[in-house]
Amino acid sequence: MDFQAYNKILICDDEVVNVRVDSVTIGYEFKIKYPSYRGVFLSCIEALDFYVDGRKLDKNTIIFYLNGKQFLLEELPELFKEYWFISDKATIRVIDPNGIAAGPHEVRVFMRHRVPYTGYFGEYLVLDSDESKTLTVSDQQEVSL
Partner 1 sequence: MKQHKIKLGVSLYSFSTEFISDQLDLEGVLKRANEMGYKGVEIVAAQMVPEYPYPSDEWLEYFAGLLKKYDLEPVCWSAYIDMGTRSDRDLTREEIIQCTVNDLIYAKKAGFPLVRTQHAISPEIFRAMISWCKRLDMKLAIEMHHPHHFDVPLWQEYFSVMRGEGKGVLGFVPDFSIFQYRPHQLFLNQAIELGFRSDRLAAVVDNHQTGVPKETAIESDFSAVEREITTEIYEKFNRPARVEQLQEYLDCIFYIHGKFYYLPDDRHDPCVPYEAILTTLRDGGYEGYIASEYEGHHFDADIDSVIQLQRYVAMNNRILNEQEA
Task: Pick the piece of the chain touching a copy of itself (CB under 8 A) from 26-34, 48-56, 72-80, 104-112.
Answer: 72-80
86 binds, among a copy of itself, partner 1, none (CB under 5 to 8 A by kind): partner 1
Q: How far apart are CA 20 and CA 87, in angstroms?
A: 27
Q: Choose, by CB under 8 A, the member of 2, 23, 69, 139 that binds a copy of itself.
A: 69
Of 32, 2, 64, nearest to 131 (Cα)?
A: 32
Dist. CA 76–CA 73, nearest whole Å: 6
User: Could you say which of 30, 50, 71, 84 contacts a copy of itself (CB under 8 A)?
Assistant: 71
Cα–Cα distance for residue pair 48/64, rounded to 1 Å = 10
Strand 62-66, strand 69-72: pairing: antiparallel
Cα 70 to Cα 134: distance, rounded to the nearest angstrom = 25
Q: Is 13 in the site for partner 1 (CB under 8 A)?
A: no
Site for a copy of itself in 76-115 (CB under 8 A): 78-82
- Contact flag: residue 112 with partner 1 (CB under 8 A): no
CB 50 within 8 A of CB 56: yes
Binding residues vs partner 1 (CB under 8 A)? 1-6, 8-9, 21-22, 24, 26, 37-41, 43-44, 46, 60, 63, 68-70, 72, 74, 77-78, 80, 83, 85-87, 95, 97, 114-121, 124, 144-145
